[in-house]
Structure 1
Amino acid sequence: MAVYTDVSAEELAAFIAPYGIGELLSYKGIAEGVENSNFLVHTSRGSFFLTLYEKRVRAGDLPFFLGLMTHLAARGIRCPQPVKTTAGEMLGELAGRPAAIIDFLEGVWPRRPNVAHCAGVGQALANMHIAGQSFAMTRANALSVSGWRPLFEQASARANDVQYGLADLLTNELEHLERSWPTDLPQGIIHADLFPDNALFIGDKLSGLIDFYFACNDMLAYDVAICLNAWCFEPDHSFNVTKARALLNAYTRERPLSAAEQDALPLLARGAAMRFLLTRLVDWLNVPPGALVRPKDPLEYVRKLRFHQNVATVRDYGLAQSGYAA
């Protein structure tokens, strides 16, 4: 979450009026994340999130995202729900941007995920994958392997300014991933961005998944690989196999990974590291002037990529080949 577009109180009050959520009392921008402009809005009837969609989010994709959240919630997945206007519309326009009001979920995201948090997110991810199988709408993953080279080309000329030798590392890894990327693993709806700041907890119990604006159709095991990168490394960048085992065991209890998915997981984890390394690198090099945003360090994902390059089998992530804990 971030703020790229300012909104005046008068504009916001007029925007929320058709939603029937009461009078505007206060609002504030949310500075975390890097994609859309987000505000926490307090009205006479409660608290809500306002999102203005920009950057990589296309207006044509918004019915998919909002419809997916409605679909998942109807099947027991705790996630925010779009608020409709009295005319039944979920989308509007504010400050020249597509905008939506989303209801507020209780909970906080874990700044230092523990083993219980990792297990909770693994279980929730598997249940989301299962629930998503019956969602009729589809959306291609523009940030899968075919989208990485265009990102690299945006950043390659200045990559070595961020770290010496980074351009060569990315060139070699991208060639390997393009050559080896699997195409025949089980597919479905994936979250594609399930980082700790997109999972809310009350204590150690997960209270909801949020921020579905990268959700798409792709390999389900790739979503698991994204979570290994996001949840199972320590602040010193060491890999915590205990957290990984908890995440993978919780996931496989709900949706077992096939032998092919397990074999592919180290490669998928490399790809997931490459995806976030590249998008972070592009963002790092192209922060809009005056934006209230904290770009995330791309070098964190260089270290993660190097770890995955040395992984031999899924056992190195704490999962036995059978799909159960080692």
Structure 2
Amino acid sequence: MAVYTTVSAEALTAFLAKFDHGALVSAKGIAEGVENSNYLVDTTTGRFILTLYEKRVSADDLPFFLALLDHLADDGNPVPRALPDRSGVAIHELAGRPACLIEFLPGVSVTQPTPVQARAAGAAMGAMHDSLSGFAATRPNTLGPDGWRDLHARCGADLDAIHPGLFTDTAAALETVIARWPTALPVAAIHGDLFPDNVLMLDDRVTGLIDFYFACTDIRAYDLAVMHTAWAFDGTGARFDADVGTALVEGYASRFALSGAERAALPVLAQGACLRFMLTRAWDWLNTPADALVTRKDPLAYWRRYQAYAAGAL
């Protein structure tokens, strides 16, 4: 989450007038994340999230995302629905951007998850995948292996401004991982970005899975690998916590079975996830507007993770 687009109080008041969710009391921009503009909105009837979808999220993809959330919510998963207005419309335009008013879910995101919390989060992903086995809609993963080389090329030699030799080193890593990428594992709808900041918890209980705007159709085990890269390391990517990683996978398997082939593929899937997030972080690092209310994330934290997995961390 972040704020790239400013919404005036007058525009937000007019927007809320379309809904039966009270009058505006306050609104505050949320700086975490890098994808969309998000506001915490309080009204006379409750609390909501306002999301304005920026350039990386296509308006054409929003029906897929909202249908996926409705499917998961209907099956009892703790996910936030987009709220329709009085006319039944959920996708609007505000400040020149597609926008939705989203349910607010209680809970906080942990920054240093314990094995118990990781097990609960893994189980929540397993339950989500179980539900998505019955979800028929599809969306290509635009940030899958087919797009990594292109993103690497677009970052180009500027990668070396982040760290000397990064362009050449990551080019070699890409070729190694893409050559080993599995092609025969089960494919389904996945979240694609279930970092700790996209899981809300109260104590050791998961209360919300949020931010589904990288959701797509891809190798199902890749979703778990992405999660492992995010949960089993500290924020710098320098310290690997094997207990957290093991608990995450065990929690997942308690709700949705992993095949032997999927378990065997987790190391290369995790390496691919590291390269994907290193490259998108690098692109954002090099291109984020100076005046954006957004916290840039260190690309090298994911390069360190890649090196750990390449050395046998999983």
Q: Please state which band the TM-score falls in when normalised by the shorter chain.
A: over 0.9
Deviations 1:157-184 (A, max 9, x none): 2111111111111110111122221111
Q: Distance in 1 between matches of 2:235 and 2:114?
A: 12
Q: Distance in 2 between matches of 1:72 and 1:161?
A: 42
Deviations 1:58-77 (A, max 9, x none): 00000111111111011011
State the 1:255 CA deviation.
1.4
State the 1:235 CA deviation.
4.5
Partner residue of 1:273?
274
- Code of the residue aligned with 1:29 in structure 2: it is G
Partner residue of 1:322?
none
Deviations 1:193-216 (A, max 9, x none): 000110000111111100111111
Q: Distance in 2 between matches of 1:221 and 1:178?
A: 16
- Of 35-44 and 230-239, deviating more is 230-239
Moved over 3 A (4+): none
Q: Distance in 2 between matches of 1:18 and 1:240?
A: 48
Partner residue of 1:165?
165
Q: How does 1:198-277 map to 2 (within 5 A)?
A: 198-235=198-235, 237-277=238-278
Partner residue of 1:117?
117
Partner residue of 1:86?
86
Aligned-CA RMSD value: 1.0
Q: How does 1:141-160 map to 2 (within 5 A)?
A: 141-160=141-160
Q: Distance in 1 between matches of 2:13 and 2:234?
A: 43
- Of 173-182 and 60-69, deviating more is 173-182
- For the residue of structure 2 that corresponds to 1:18, the secondary structure is coil
Unaligned runs of 5+ in 1: 318-326
Q: Is the 8 A contact 2:39 2:51 kept in 1?
A: yes
Q: Is the 8 A contact 2:235 2:301 kept in 1?
A: no
Q: Distance in 2 between matches of 1:285 and 1:187?
A: 33
Deviations 1:1-30 (A, max 9, x none): 000000000001111111111111110100
State the 1:136 CA deviation.
2.0
State the 1:289 CA deviation.
3.2
Partner residue of 1:74?
74
Unaligned runs of 5+ in 2: none
Partner residue of 1:185?
185
Q: Distance in 2 between matches of 1:20 and 1:214?
A: 29
- For the residue of structure 2 that corresponds to 1:164, the secondary structure is coil
Number of matched residues?
A: 313
Q: Distance in 2 between matches of 1:299 and 1:195?
A: 17
- Code of the residue aligned with 1:152 in structure 2: it is H
- Code of the residue aligned with 1:101 in structure 2: it is L
